[in-house]
Amino acid sequence: MTDPRKIDAIIVGAGIAGLYQLYKLRELGMNTRVLEAGDNVGGTWYWNRYPGARCDVESLSYSYSFSPELEQEWTWTERYPAQPEILRYINHVAERFDLRKDITFGTRVISAVYDEAVQRWLVDTDTGESIDSQFLIMATGCLSASKLPEVPGLERFQGPTYHTGHWPHEGVDFTGMRVGIIGTGSSSVQSTPVIAEQAADLTVFQRTPAYSLAARNRPLEQSEIAEMKANYRAWREAQRTSGFGVPVELPTQSALEVSPKERTAKYEAGWREGTLVSILGGYTDTLTDQEANETAAEFVRQKIRERVHDPEVAETLSPRTYPFGTKRPCLDTGYYETFNKSHVHLVDLRKTPLVKLTERGLRTSEQEYELDAIVFATGFDAMTGALNAIDIRGKGGTALRDKWAEGPRSYLGLAVAGFPNLFTITGPSSPSVLSNMIVSIEQHVDWITDCIAYLREHDIAAIEPTADAEDGWVAHVEEVGNATLYPTADSWYMGSNVPGKPRVFMAYIGGVGVYRQRCDEVAAKGYQGFTLQEALTRT
Ligand code: NA7
């Protein structure tokens, strides 16, 4: 157990990010405490236990790289790992590195106030604890503050309701039930086929259709596991310098400079491969040119038409209002085919909007749907939701949520001007949500750890970005984002899934490798763009 009298660092969250950060700070010999709202480790994979929950980055890539021994001893079973397997992996990591002893579970941080006089954070929890610490590291996740649909009557419905991001640990049996599911993002695309197997009747309420590709999930072959285990170091290096944290061959041509036949052949190959980037990454301009994008978008729509028997249903499921890839694409196992089943129905909320929940179900502008259970697959207040849920106050008592009222502002997505010694792992304006999350997490944690080591070596008590450096980074993120099609979509990347949230592109699309280089340069130049402050008082 850490010495309660002298905490060097508080980490908020015991998911993949928080656990690795704890491991790294222990290497520095720091007295660290992790505060976690859940009753166990896992973060995203602790909460998102809905049927069919699965990672859509391949398991051999979606794993920690910091320990070659861990890489060798753990064996994944499926190409795309299911939530229970990932959670087992995270638990294994917690045991193997003896991490639990510094984690306090069932404890939610409610406020964190920086005391300028002593250069320390005072952190209050919902269990009544007040802890002060030199560093405060937020490992709170990008998609952890769940959001319900904005409709009246949520409390009126008499049957059970479930949010995919807060699924009951004991599971839910929908056998014989009339079930409604609201939302058609990744969580719905993954859970709909599984719920449909149980439910007597399933109605999917769709506001915006997703672009989903067949995942082609399968058990891993022993030979491919062995090959990866033999080559892990090279693979990890390639991940770190890649665009999305997954090594792929880089495109060299515009989608518009090749013949339709050649283009279709390339998309077909991507389709057979079944990864998030296998079609998106085919040409240089898929994410920057509307016309180029449309060639890929139409290819995916054609696949939807092939998979769904009823042409009207296929059309309703076909996205037409935003370019392919500008909202998070999905990977599915039998999603579209589920709509061929006679007990599965699709309601287009664009044509008949959701009006309210009633005692017996749900009412659209057209009719009432009687339901026994409702699933909210309605997503998250992404990127900023979990941070803004905590009353974080920096210098002069400024609240982070006030500072971010017009959209998040940070330097490198890692630190915020006016909030010394606060670090955000996978914070807004970093590439995290546009990447293999573990690759980004490890890079952030390594950078933060090196930074803290530097401060300790140089007897520096506090670090914070300058306002100029922050302005520069915010402008850069916006400029790079504006060169793409991302800002044209109403997505959670843009904050537009939450009413009233400022419309700002909250991710850095410059690429994981480029971003890493930039962060390393900042560190190599003695933390360029940061102000370093010596201790004001000696203890
Ligand atoms: P997403 O991707 O944000 O999807 C949420 C879905 O819920 C999406 O289809 C929304 O439609 C829909 N939604 C949200 N609010 C409403 C209301 N009020 N009425 C009707 N429909 C609504 O969340 P997921 O949990 O599926 O996935 C999150 C991420 O996890 C995913 O991107 C991957 O990174 C993994 P909208 O598109 O806003 O019209």
Residue type at position 32: T
CA of 148 to the centre of ligand 1 (A): 10
pLDDT of residue 539: 56
Q: Looking at the CA of residue 187, tell me the nearest atom of ligand 1.
A: 26
What is the C-alpha end-to-end distance of the chain, expressed in Å? 23
Residue 57 has pLDDT above 60, yes or no: yes
Q: How far apart are CA 536 and CA 514, in angstroms?
A: 36
CA of 439 to the centre of ligand 1 (A): 24
CA of 62 to the centre of ligand 1 (A): 23
Listing DSSP states for 431-496 in one string gives: SGGGS-HHHHHHHHHHHHHHHHHHHHHTTEEEEEE-HHHHHHHHHHHHHHHHTSSGGGS-SGGGTT
pLDDT of residue 5: 55
Among protein residues, the one with the nearest Cα to ligand 1's atom 29 is 186
What percent of the chain clears pLDDT 70, i.e. is strictly above it? Answer: 99
**Model pTM score:** 0.97
pLDDT of residue 408: 97
The CATH class given to the 148-210+327-379 domain equals alpha beta
Tens-place pLDDT, residues 369-413: 999 999 999 999 999 999 999 999 999 999 999 999 999 999 999
pLDDT of residue 538: 62
Domain boundaries in the chain? Answer: 5-145+382-534, 148-210+327-379
What mean pLDDT is predicted for residues 322-343?
98
What mean pLDDT is predicted for residues 122-131?
97
pLDDT of residue 6: 79
What mean pLDDT is predicted for residues 446-467?
98
- What residues are in contact with ligand 1 under a 6 Å CB criterion? 143, 149-150, 164, 182-188, 207-208, 328, 349, 354, 377-380, 492, 497
CA of 525 to the centre of ligand 1 (A): 41
What mean pLDDT is predicted for residues 251-274?
97
CA of 430 to the centre of ligand 1 (A): 21
Q: Looking at the CA of residue 328, tell me the nearest atom of ligand 1.
A: 32
Among protein residues, the one with the nearest Cα to ligand 1's atom 14 is 378
The hierarchical CATH code for the domain 5-145+382-534 is: 3.50.50.60
Among protein residues, the one with the nearest Cα to ligand 1's atom 12 is 183
Whether the Cβ atoms of residue 183 and residue 207 lie closer than 8 Å to each other: yes
Q: Looking at the CA of residue 497, tell me the nearest atom of ligand 1.
A: 38
In the numeric block, which tokens belong to residue 503?
């419309």
CA of 379 to the centre of ligand 1 (A): 4
Q: How far apart are CA 68 and CA 48, in angstroms?
A: 28
Alpha helices by DSSP H, listed for 326-422, are 335-338, 385-388, 400-403
Residue 1 has pLDDT above 60, yes or no: no
* Residue of 207, 328, 432 with the most ligand 1 atoms within 8 Å of its CB, for mutation: 207
pLDDT of residue 3: 56
| DSSP symbol at 446 | H
Q: How far apart are CA 331 and CA 190, in angstroms?
A: 8
Whether the Cβ atoms of residue 135 and residue 121 lie closer than 8 Å to each other: yes
* Local structure of 358: helix, strand or coil: coil
CA of 304 to the centre of ligand 1 (A): 19
CA of 111 to the centre of ligand 1 (A): 28
CA of 493 to the centre of ligand 1 (A): 11
Q: Please state, rounded to an integer, the average pLDDT across all residues of the chain.
A: 97
What mean pLDDT is predicted for residues 433-447?
97
* Residue of 47, 147, 187, 192 with the most ligand 1 atoms within 8 Å of its CB, for mutation: 187
pLDDT of residue 39: 98
